[in-house]
Amino acid sequence: MYNGEIKMKKTALLIFVLLLIQTASVFAQTQQKDALVLYHNGKYKESVQVCEEELKENPNRIDSYVVMCWSLVKNKQYAEAEQRATEGLAVSAYDLRLIEILGEARYYLGKNNGAMEQFQKYVANANESSSRLGTAYYFMGEIYIRQARYQHADIALSSAVKKEPLYENWWIRLGYAREMAGNYLEALEAYDEALRLNPSSVDASRGRDRVKEKIK
């Protein structure tokens, strides 16, 4: 009877230990998802901290670099985002997520040529279902506007609104690029679409009034 009780206790202890291991494994898996959850909840600094901890455990964890850089850009820490994206690309040179976010970081730092290089690389390799394709085209358009290359901006921004047609600001910027290029009828179409999406848009309304005056 005594030996039987010992065996039962050992079995119960073994089950308990196994449950602890399983719980710890589930907890670890949950922790791995925390950075992305924090990012989606707008808690960018906390997301970065979680990613830092993940990279200490595994310096080659690409998803941690990606979420960290997304969070850094959202938190307007553009120099840090550029640095960490570059580090991530040293681990995985063809990760399109890092290529695109590096473009964004460099765009906000005013590094137009470096940003354009990344966006061009992204659109050349991304497939049509890539979630950031429209965004990449949009930033390319903005860079072309900075460079006063308005016809190129028209092409890039037209591609952007084709991918994401519900962003009124993208239509406004397309209208502006066309206006600056002297394509007033096409500019009017873009401003009209922006106003269709948001009838109270002051920028779209002013742009529409400007090009209507030039069409007369």
pLDDT tens track for 87-104: 999 999 999 999 999 999
Q: Which helix (H) or strand (E) holds 192?
A: helix 184-197
In whole angstroms, give the CA distance from residue 147 to residue 150: 8
Cβ of 142: how many Cβ atoms within 10 Å?
A: 20
C-alpha R_g of the chain: 25
**Residue 181 contacts residue 154 (beta carbons within 8 Å):** yes
- Which pair of structure tokens corresponds to residue 26? 């589930």
- Which pair of structure tokens corresponds to residue 65? 């670099």
**In the prediction, which pLDDT does 27 show?**
44
In whole angstroms, give the CA distance from residue 25 to residue 19: 10
**In the prediction, which pLDDT does 190 show?**
98
Tens of pLDDT along 109-143? Answer: 999 999 999 999 999 999 988 999 999 999 999 99
Looking at residue 71, its amino acid is S
**In the prediction, which pLDDT does 204 show?**
98
Q: Which helix (H) or strand (E) holds 38?
A: helix 2-40
**In the prediction, which pLDDT does 40 show?**
95
**Positions of the chain with pLDDT under 70:** 1-33
Transcribe 56-83 into DSSP letters: HH-TT-HHHHHHHHHHHHHTT-HHHHHH
**Residue 211 contacts residue 191 (beta carbons within 8 Å):** yes
**Residue 191 contacts residue 175 (beta carbons within 8 Å):** yes
